[in-house]
Chain A
Amino acid sequence: MKSSTGISVRTHELYLLVFVTRYLDLFTTFYSFYNSFMKVLYIFTTSLVIYTIKVKEPIASTYDKAQDSFLHWKFGVAPCFIVALITYLFQAGFSINIMDLLWTFSIYLESIAILPQLIVLQRYREVENLTGNYVFFMGAYRFLYILNWIYRSYNEPYYQHHFVVYFCGVLQTLLYVDFFYYYIKSKARGGKFTLPTSR
């Protein structure tokens, strides 16, 4: 049965905002086909997810708006933008580059983008197989990026450290730790994947 129970669309709205603000350089710089292709792919697939959950039937009518309750604009986008603005102005001074500012914002926002989805999972308690897998791979991706940054810092001659990126990458991965623990435990045990509720 096609449904969207257990899935948060707010997480993907945040991700879309992350990619759109981060990949503005699609219009200015060409690095490689792979690079451009992946950027377009992320924006396209995230939009497709949002469209599927909010518009496409029969999935749209199964979307549980009451469960997906994290006020992501007020508590996600706004604080991240303010923090990004402050830290960016601090290090950039008067030479403000809007694309750099938006890029910094996208880094902060991505670190918390999974929160609405984790909150929905906690509410449902029992996590479907595919839902659990999708969240796991989302978490794994940023963790693998941390290893990528470490590798590049040792192997690339002109590698520039981005401490904001490191901090946010670690924060992002840490948000998954709780989830990873129960995910791996349930994979090892077999059977249903359940999360403890805080209530």
Chain B
Amino acid sequence: MSMNIFRLAGDMSHVFSIIVLLLRLRVVKNAAGKNLTDVALLIFQKLDFEILPRFITSR
């Protein structure tokens, strides 16, 4: 099984979609200004640039 940018982008898109949905269901809009999309983006960035690079093996 090989990895390429399209596969990775597709998987990330899928995961991001579910994260956005879960946020939409569980999180209350923060009156202090940060809206839900910003929170979602922050979490996505952390996942994509800090956590996942440690785990992905390329063949």
Partner-B contacts on A (CB < 8 A): 1-4, 7, 31-35, 37-38, 41-42, 45-46, 48-49, 52-53, 59, 128-131, 133-138, 140-145, 147-148, 151-152, 155-156
Contact = CB atoms under 8 A, between A and B. Distances in A.
Given A133-B20, A137-B14, A137-B20, A59 B6 contact: no
Interface of B: 1-4, 6-7, 9-11, 13-29, 36-37, 40, 55-57, 59
A197 to B, nearest CB: 22
B2 A156 contact: yes
Nearest to B11: A38
Contacts, number: 107
A41 B25 CA distance: 18
Interface of B is mostly: helix
A130 B1 contact: no
Contact of B7 (A31, A37, A145): A145
The listed residue with most A CB atoms (<10 A of its CB), out of B2, B11, B19, is: B11
Contacts of A3: 25
Given A34-B57, A148-B4, A156-B2, A130 B24 contact: yes
Given A59-B26, A145-B7, 11 more contacts: A2-B25, A31-B1, A34-B3, A42-B14, A42-B18, A130-B20, A134-B17, A138-B13, A140-B10, A141-B11, A141-B14
B13 A134 contact: no
A140 B17 CA distance: 9
A49 B6 contact: no
Contacts of B7: 144-145, 148
B21 A49 contact: yes
A130 B4 contact: no
The listed residue with most B CB atoms (<10 A of its CB), out of A4, A130, A140, is: A130
B24 A134 contact: yes
B26 A2 contact: yes
A195 B10 CA distance: 25
